[in-house]
Structure 1
């Protein structure tokens, strides 16, 4: 097994790289939904558990579609063209899955039509820009 100059295995470095991408993905999706939560005069600090409710369906949707699309494979996240295409497709599918979950009896909120456009559009911009930056940085 090859090692870098500090004696770490390459697979360990790649694992940390991948975990960092997963962490920022989670922060990006949660931040996007939290921004909307704040925009509608809700205070996530006053009701932290209540703030998790609108975030959860979208994190579930994103996680499922990102894994199915292979977004955490090095050949996907390190290639700008693939990163843009796969991220866009995964987010559109993930946002729709999140909207379906959010509209279920398990969650409060529903999915009014303008909200569908806003969450899908802004999520697309945030995630595609973030994933493009990663891919360009790793080139």
Structure 2
């Protein structure tokens, strides 16, 4: 029987570069999406636009990724284990983000197309980032 706590089994300090890259990749993806609806000038003048767009999904990632094991020892060992962990972590993270977004900004409502874009787009962005990480490492 392991003496490690649940979170100790899910978090490996050596995965910090992947974690930083994940956040940067997600922030870039979320900024690209935000720029589909707002100009950079509007975002600079009203940063809450980006905060309300990105915040729920980053929060979802910060909750789901450690719980699912995106930063576990397997998450940092090779692309063939790291990428599936990122995708499995992104699905609940995106769902959390969608729920938080609807609760925090109810006037935006819920659009199934947006949910699909978030689920697929985030998974692709995280996968590409992690693939590149292991190719360049």
Q: Give the TM bin, normalised by the shorter chain.
A: 0.7 to 0.9
CA change 1:49–1:39 in 2 (3 A) is same
TM-score (norm 1): 0.77
TM-score (norm 2): 0.78
**Count of residues in Structure 1 that have an aligned counterpart in Structure 2:** 123
Bigger helix fraction: 2
Residues 1:107 and 2:105 aligned together:
yes
Query: C-alpha separation between the residues in 2 aligned to 1:125 and 1:75?
Result: 19
Query: How far apart are 1:56 and its partner, in Å?
Result: 0.7
Query: C-alpha separation between the residues in 2 aligned to 1:120 and 1:85?
Result: 14
Q: Which residue of 2 aligns with 1:11?
A: none
Kept in 2, the 8 Å contact 1:25–1:127? The answer is yes
Kept in 2, the 8 Å contact 1:77–1:134? The answer is no
Query: How far apart are 1:136 and its partner, in Å?
Result: 4.1
The one of the two structures with greater contact order (alpha-carbon pairs below 8 A, sep at least 6) is 2
- Contiguous gaps of at least 5 residues in structure 2: 1-11
Query: How far apart are 1:73 and its partner, in Å?
Result: 2.4
Equivalent residues in 2 for 1:90-101 (5 A)?
90-101=89-100
Match of 1:40 among 37, 40, 61: 37
CA change 1:84–1:20 in 2 (3 A) is closer
Query: How far apart are 1:46 and its partner, in Å?
Result: 1.9
SS in 2 for 1:71: coil
CA change 1:76–1:59 in 2 (3 A) is same
Greater shift, 68-77 or 51-60, is seen at 68-77
Structure whose CA Rg is larger: 1
Kept in 2, the 8 Å contact 1:34–1:44? The answer is no
Give the alignment's Cα RMSD to 1 decimal. Answer: 2.0
